């Protein structure tokens, strides 16, 4: 090839940034394809263009770095929990990708493994819940845009799509988008316990004296136990006590009568 032929060779044009091309590049990089092979295709940007895209777009830089990290990681297999893979799953869910689609990726664990990770690792379950709520918020914004762009001709189709979006958002984020909001369980009410005491008169077997014994239920067995004993005292004759009380009443009445007679005089 002489100098004239070299100068006549077509010069590759600059590929402008587009979300479709950027996603395709990241997908192929994450699958393990080399950047040289990708950038050699005419419809793909050059490596210089990729570096420029990463400098100008923080979002592309983040996703492109994640794709390169995934390309360096071996396919996930077995039961071991991988925090980096879990973080990647959470990020992809929050960006709008469904778990069923993520788990079909060869470098990602199966859906059954993801479900087991969620059950065994609370931090992953919480991150995944927040990612699903973010996806529900994305669907909510999408539904608002669809409703605003609806026309009389597309009203029925828009209604069908909005119903599906509403249902999906409620499933993804029941705490924020569900009709029935999850609430904390009610606190256990404080229970008041009342212990009733039982009193019994005990008779001394030798001198016949009396004393009062107090019984109360045991908190553990609920059986009566003796908790207090009063002093021994002489027994009280009820007839004698009634007669003494009657005499006291009569004497007080007589005193009142004498006071009344004295005031009349």
Q: Give domain status of residue 252, yes or no.
A: no
Confidence bin at 141 (pLDDT 50/70/90): confident
Q: Which residue has the tokens 């080399």?
A: 34
Residue 123 domain-assigned? yes
- Whether 184 is in a domain gets the answer no
Q: Name which of 68, 158, 81, 178 is nearest 122 in CA terms.
A: 81
Q: Roughly how many angstroms between the first and final C-alpha of the chain, as a whole number?
A: 159
Percent of the chain topping pLDDT 70: 89
Mean pLDDT lowest among 79-83, 118-122, 146-150:
79-83
Is 257 part of a structural domain of the chain? no
Q: Which pLDDT belongs to residue 123?
A: 92
Convert the pLDDT of each residue in 92-105 to its tens digit: 888 888 888 888 87
Number of domains present in the structure of the chain: 3
Domain assignment of residue 187, yes or no:
no
Residues 54 and 96 in one domain: no
| 3-state SS assignment for residue 147 | helix
150 and 66, same structural domain? no
Find the mean pLDDT for residues 219-228: 85
pLDDT value, residue 1: 45
pLDDT of residue 176: 73
Q: How many CB atoms lie within 10 A of CB 88?
A: 22
93 and 46 in one domain?
no
19 in any annotated domain: yes
Shared domain for 53 and 90, answered yes or no, is: no
Mean pLDDT of the chain: 81
Domain-terminating residue out of 179, 210, 234: 179
Residues 85 and 170 in one domain: yes
Token pair of 189 as six digits: 């009410």
Q: What region does 32 belong to: left with phi over 0, alpha with psi -120 to 50, or beta?
A: left
Q: What is the pLDDT of residue 223?
A: 86
Is pLDDT of 8 > 50? no
Residues 93, 114 contacting (CB under 8 angstroms): no
- One domain for residues 208 and 225: yes
238 or 216: whose pLDDT is higher? 216
- Is residue 54 pLDDT above 70, yes or no? yes
Q: Which of 120, 150, 179 is the last residue of a domain?
A: 179
Average pLDDT over residues 68-83: 65
Q: Can you give the pTM of this predicted structure?
A: 0.41
Can you tell me whether residue 203 is helix, strand or coil?
strand
User: Is residue 77 predicted with pLDDT exceeding 60?
Assistant: no
Instruction: Please tell me the predicted confidence (pLDDT) of residue 60.
Output: 83
Distance CA 229, CA 215 (A): 9
Domain that holds residue 54: 11-72
Q: How confident is the model at residue 210, as a pLDDT?
A: 85
The percent of residues in the chain predicted with pLDDT above 90, rounded, is 4
> Which residue is listed with tokens 């927040």?
130
80 and 175 part of one domain: yes
Q: Are 95 and 101 in contact (CB under 8 A)?
A: no
Same domain, 158 and 99: yes
Is the pLDDT at 49 greater than 50? The verdict is yes
59 vs 249: CA distance, rounded Å: 102
More confident residue, 44 or 3: 44
Helix (H) or strand (E) run with residue 227 in it: strand 224-229
pLDDT exceeds 70 at position 12: no
User: Are both 56 and 104 inside the same structural domain?
Assistant: no
Mean pLDDT of 195-202: 82
Mean pLDDT computed over 219-247 = 83
Q: Are 54 and 61 in contact (CB under 8 A)?
A: yes
Range scoring the smallest mean pLDDT among 21-25, 55-59, 190-194 = 190-194
Q: Are residues 68 and 86 in the same domain?
A: no
- Top pLDDT among 161 and 188 is at 161
Lookup: tokens for 136: 């529900």
Does 86 reside within a domain? Answer: yes
**Helix 83-94 / helix 58-72 crossing angle, nearest 10 deg:** 140
Q: Is pLDDT above 60 for 124? A: yes
Q: What is the mean pLDDT of residues 195-224?
A: 84
Same domain, 79 and 68: no
Report the CATH number at residue 32.
Answer: 1.10.10.60
Say what the pLDDT of residue 263 is: 60
Specify if 153 maps to a domain: yes
* Angle CA 23–27–28, to nearest 5: 120
């Amino acid at each position: 090839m002489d100098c004239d032929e070299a100068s006549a060779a077509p010069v590759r044009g600059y590929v402008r940034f587009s979300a479709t091309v950027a996603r395709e590049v990241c997908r192929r990089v994450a699958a393990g394809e080399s950047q040289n092979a990708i950038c050699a295709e005419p419809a793909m940007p050059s490596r210089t263009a990729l570096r420029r895209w990463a400098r100008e777009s923080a979002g592309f830089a983040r996703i492109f770095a994640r794709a390169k990290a995934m390309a360096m990681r071996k396919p996930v297999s077995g039961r071991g929990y991988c925090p980096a893979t879990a973080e990647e799953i959470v990020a992809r869910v929050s960006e709008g990708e469904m778990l069923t689609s993520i788990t079909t990726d060869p470098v990602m664990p199966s859906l059954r493994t993801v479900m087991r990770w969620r059950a065994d690792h609370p931090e992953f379950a919480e991150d995944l819940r927040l990612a699903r709520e973010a996806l529900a918020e994305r669907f909510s914004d999408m539904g608002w845009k669809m409703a605003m762009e609806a026309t009389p001709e597309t009203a029925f189709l828009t209604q069908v799509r909005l119903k599906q979006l509403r249902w999906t958002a409620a499933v993804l984020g029941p705490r924020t988008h569900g009709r029935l909001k999850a609430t904390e369980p009610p606190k256990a009410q404080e229970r008041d316990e009342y212990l009733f005491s039982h009193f019994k008169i005990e008779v001394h077997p030798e001198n016949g004296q009396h004393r009062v014994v107090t019984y109360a239920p045991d908190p553990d067995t609920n059986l009566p136990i003796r908790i207090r004993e009063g002093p021994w005292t002489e027994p009280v004759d009820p007839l004698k006590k009634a007669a003494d009380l009657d005499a006291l009443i009569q004497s007080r009445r007589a005193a009142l009568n004498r006071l009344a007679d004295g005031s009349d005089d």
